[in-house]
Amino acid sequence: MGDSTVLGLVGSPNRNGKTNQLVTAALEGAADRGARVELVQMADHVVNACKDCLPSECEKNLKCTYEDASLEYLTQKILTCGALVLGSPVYWSETSGMVKFLMIKMTRIYARTAPLKGVPTLGFAVAGGSGNGLVSGLRPLYHFFQTMQMRAIGPVPSTRFNLNSALQRSRELGAELTGMVGAQQPFAGLEERLAWYDSLPYLDLNRTGERRLLAGIITAELGDNADLEMARGLAKADALLAEGRQIEALAEITRVYETGIKDWGRR
């Protein structure tokens, strides 16, 4: 069914933006390992909103009930790939609309028959502004992969602050994905699948954890340019969290974040 191509989908209207860089880096890593790769700009194939063809005609027909050439184009690419890299910008702590519309329709049509079961995949959601939503933006992607019974690796929390290290990690994961192509690894059952997704890092962070992660990334990326108070603030926040003093910890994390944003501008 699937061939060996590693397919990269760029789910941003900005063709040369950060999403494109991350997806391209993964494909470069895959190509270095000998994979055939293909990159598709979703901006050229924007899926329409689901119109809810109750009682799920699409699920029976394995086809959207309404004409949607973009969905057909993307679906044909996805159903025949050997591995998938799906990238989205973070928009208000979520995916972009074009990525969301694709996932909504594909889930409706294919969740039951799971034609992508065991297909290796990797998702990116780049928080290119404030950095907020670096984890919550990833969750819908990984939920989609889980529902489609795909074998996901990663994720890599990606912001404008850690873009270079995220690009490096993306290349490595692209290579790793290539090693998984062809050897489809379906899950033995629902429990194994849920446990696999629960074992992936970052996705279960709560809001405080996500904000702590972001403040830590900015501090680390500033390196020698970081205000000494930032590392101290993070240590203090961790100690407060360990004592269950969440509000005070969050206040500390916010101070670190705000100092970091100022220092980032001054670098």
Ligand X SMILES: Cc1cc2nc3c(=O)[nH]c(=O)nc-3n(C[C@H](O)[C@H](O)[C@H](O)COP(=O)(O)O)c2cc1C
How far apart CA 261 and CA 216 sit, in angstroms, is 12
Q: Which stretch binds ligand X (CB under 6 A): 91-99, 186-194, 216-224, 235-243?
A: 91-99
Instruction: State which residue, 203 or 240, has the beta carbon closest to ligand X.
Output: 203
Contacts of 109 (CB under 8 A, 6+ apart): 58, 59, 62, 63, 64, 75
CA 164 to chain centre: 16
Instruction: State which residue, 86 or 119, has the beta carbon closest to ligand X.
Output: 86
User: Applying CB under 6 A, which of residues 48, 107, 130, 246 lies at the interface with ligand X?
Assistant: 130
Q: Report if residue 92 touches ligand X, rule: CB under 6 A.
A: yes
Q: Report if residue 264 touches ligand X, rule: CB under 6 A.
A: no
Q: Report if residue 40 touches ligand X, rule: CB under 6 A.
A: no
Q: Report if residue 12 touches ligand X, rule: CB under 6 A.
A: yes
Task: Please answer whether residues 263 and 225 qualify as being in contact, where contact means their C-beta atoms are separated by less than 8 angstroms.
Answer: yes
The least CB distance from residue 266 to ligand X, in Å, is 20
How far apart CA 255 and CA 242 sit, in angstroms, is 19
Single out the residue of 3, 105, 111 nearest to residue 46, CA to CA.
105
The least CB distance from residue 130 to ligand X, in Å, is 5
How far apart CA 63 and CA 254 sit, in angstroms, is 47
Q: Which stretch binds ligand X (CB under 6 A): 24-32, 56-64, 86-94, 182-190?
A: 86-94
Number of residues in contact with ligand X under rule CB under 6 A = 19
User: Applying CB under 6 A, which of residues 131, 154, 155, 174 lies at the interface with ligand X?
Assistant: 131
State residue 110 phi and psi, 5-degree precision.
-115, -5
**Contact set with ligand X (CB under 6 A):** 12, 14, 17-20, 89-93, 126-133
